[in-house]
A and B are shown apart, each in its own frame.
Chain A
């Protein structure tokens, strides 16, 4: 069974800092990996999707990398802003091609 772990569970940084969120998974036979953002009491917003054949994806201040062989992904957020405060979830899709397996998330607080 695929296990997804996110470290740290919570993170507080001052505005302007660059930061890295970590995701690890136990089964490297994945189809793709998605990073999501979740605001309190809300649904999930897709940030980036990395296919298994890719090494990284970028969107604005966000950069996600994937090392499938070691079972790791990182989400890099540049020049953090208070509006980035949210829970960030990593999810992997196995080769079955449908279910996402989620980590518990990293709760990020960016202080002004």
Chain B
């Protein structure tokens, strides 16, 4: 399977703990995105990388959220001092804006479902 993969698929944690999620994009994709989806809502954009550069992070929900993409390959999203309101599905997507006949079509992974107790 050469799609976007995310790990873990499910995470249960206690309030106040730190959590980290991983995303592996489609291998030739240079762009990577993180979104959050709560029940009954569409996904909400969080942040975006082009290669290893984080080009947009102003929409991360608070300073407890951070993301990295070392070497422009996989990415991690960390939430520090989790709160019950952080419970959601965290989705990763990737795209390519080079040599594609469908510019910037975003392909999503299966998501990581976070439950904060």
Contacts and interface: CB of A to CB of B under 8 A. Distances in A.
Interface of A: 4, 31-32, 34, 36, 41-46, 49, 51, 89, 91, 93, 97-105
Contacts of A41: 113
The DSSP consensus for interface residues of chain A is strand
- Choose among B48, B93, B102 the residue with the greatest number of A CB atoms under 10 Å from its CB: B102
Interface stretch (B11-19, B36-44, B69-77, B78-86): B36-44
Contacts, number: 64
A99 B56 contact: yes
Given A49-B102, A105-B42, A43 B59 contact: no
Contacts of B45: 99-101
A44 B105 contact: no
Contacts of A36: 108
Interface of B: 4, 6, 31, 33, 35, 40-45, 48, 55-56, 59, 91, 93, 97, 102-111, 113
B48 A99 contact: yes
Contacts of A93: 104
A12 B56 CA distance: 39
21 contacts: A4-B42, A32-B104, A34-B105, A36-B108, A43-B4, A43-B111, A45-B108, A46-B105, A46-B106, A89-B42, A89-B43, A93-B104, A98-B56, A98-B104, A100-B35, A100-B43, A100-B93, A100-B106, A102-B43, A102-B44, A104-B42
